Amino acid sequence: MSEIITPIQLVTSVYKRLEEWKHLNGVVTSLAPKAIKHAKLISQTPMDNSNLLMGIPFVMKDNIATIDSLTTGSSKILANFTPNYDSTVNKYLTKASAINIAKTALDELGMGGDGLYAATGHVLNPWNPKHITGGSSSGSAALVAAGIVPFALGTDTGDSIRKPAAYCGIIGFKPTYGLISRNGVFPYAPSLDTVGVFTNHVEDVAIVLDNLVHHDSEDFTSVHSTQKDYVKNLNTNIQDKNIAILNYDSYQWTPDIKQAFDDAVNSLVTDGAKIHKINFDEQLLQALLPVYMIISFAEATSCHANLTGINFGERIAGNDYSQVMTNSRTAGFGDMVKRRYIIGAYALSANYQEELFNKAKKVRRLVVEALTQIFKKYDAFIVMPTVTSAPTIKDVLEQKKVISSKHDYLEDLLLLSNLNGGPSITIPLTTVNNLPIGININATPFNDQTVLDIAQFLSNYINFNNKMLGDENE
């Protein structure tokens, strides 16, 4: 007979492991007192075998509000912000008797793709601490990869869940835009922001979705979906699925990554799927990053206008309100955030709004139309989330010192699903030099089940073993 583990024992073991991995710098705020109290309460409640989240610990990105607990967005300007309201997702998970143990670090206010821009410092990759985790949902990714919790919540505005998942050897899922409520989530770019989940197993994604996918009248972007019961409907039957893959024939990638990608694709063919290599308008692919930057930076500039030290945020004294605002924002924001606000304000200025912001929205529409045509023919579209493993922190910081005229658009493909709002999942593919790399599956909006089914099939075939799970930190 297997030993029964109580919620208290489970939470205690999680905090012990969290201490062993504290050098990852993935936590902003521990919720230990509340978590232990919650675990004790659950222990006194009869076990509900139909509730798969009962007593399960998780962590949450620190731009998602938790009532009466610090929610800082990993920014100095919100270092002491304790909301008197709760996010909808935290309400749902609390109701399901899942146990929130910590708020996790992120690139400040979600603005960054490396995990190096939290006010609390760099978040380190558990596979190799010299390498980045990716961002902005860096802390959530690191703690799931380290085997501390079975799932974590993050947000994905421009690959902020799926790129860290690729770098950390775990699963990162961005659902259809609006499928999970954003009520209580700090906005970055409201036309792009999406709440999603990190796990080590596709089935765990489905379990979390079953608890979080509900229409929420408190979120004006919340949508209704005809799909439900994601766990019940999860299957690996891909017979006759039409799946498009991006044509990488002209790309010179490393033989071991190419072999792993080809093997994964061939496994789909062997099981009855129909694979089609397609080309995507290269000009549109080259435009992905600038379009994302202009739209998201502009929306952030508008959304964060209330972080002044007067309405919200840590106040730095001044002679008048203008000086208070200037002093507070100067001291409260990091360089990455300031840079994005400047670009966003420039794009929204009267002289350049038509040339930059409005034009970016028009190009976004072209991207969406191109994807719509793809999904009229194919059930899914598979791309690589990145064609290299996680770079070193040193290399990333060195690259930030110069402005390069060259950029590899193959690093931006995950932005496609942000621009069209479709579901997208990254799963582990292989390792290169003892660092993981992933593969990514996309579908048209509201076809989240299709993405999960194909991911489940590929996960079974790849059989990736996260070496972090169960290991003692050395």
Which residues are identified as catalytic?
61, 136, 160
* Location of structure tokens 């992933």: 438
Q: What is the CA radius of gyration of the chain?
A: 21
**Structure token digits, residue 179:** 């499928």
Token pair recorded at residue 338? 């300031």
Element (H, E) at 396: helix 393-399
Q: 451: which 2 tokens?
A: 């993405």
- Do residues 126 and 34 touch, judged by C-beta distance below 8 A? no
Residues in contact with 380: Cβ distance below 8 Å, sequence separation at least 6, in sequence order: 241, 243, 244, 441, 442, 443, 450, 451, 454
CB 348, CB 301: distance < 8 Å: yes
Cα–Cα distances in angstroms (integers) from residue 375 to residues 66, 177, 343, 443, 459, in the given order: 38, 16, 33, 7, 23
Contact between 65 and 93 under an 8 Å Cβ cutoff? The reply is no
Tokens of 442: 């996309």
Query: What would the 3-class secondary structure string for 53-101 be?
Result: CCCCEEEEECCECCCCCCCCCCCHHHCCCCCCCCCHHHHHHHHCCCEEE
Beta bridge partners of 453: none
- 171-174/242-246 β-pairing: unpaired
Q: DSSP letters of 236-292?
A: ---TT-EEEEE--TT----HHHHHHHHHHHHHHHHTT-EEEEE---HHHHHHHHHHH
Residue 370 per-residue DSSP state:
H
Collapse the DSSP code of 322 into the 3-class scheme (helix H, G, I; strand E, B; otherwise coil) and give the result: helix
Structure tokens at 221: 């972007």
Residue owning tokens 């799909």: 227
3-state secondary structure of 380: strand
Q: How many angstroms separate the CA atoms of 382 and 61, rounded? A: 27
Give the span between the Cα atoms of 42 and 49, in whole angstroms: 13
Judging by DSSP bridges, how do beta strands 99-104 and 57-61 pair with one another? parallel
Q: Measured between alpha carbons, how far is 46 from 48 in angstroms, rounded to an integer?
A: 6
Q: Which residues pair with 277 in a beta bridge?
A: 245
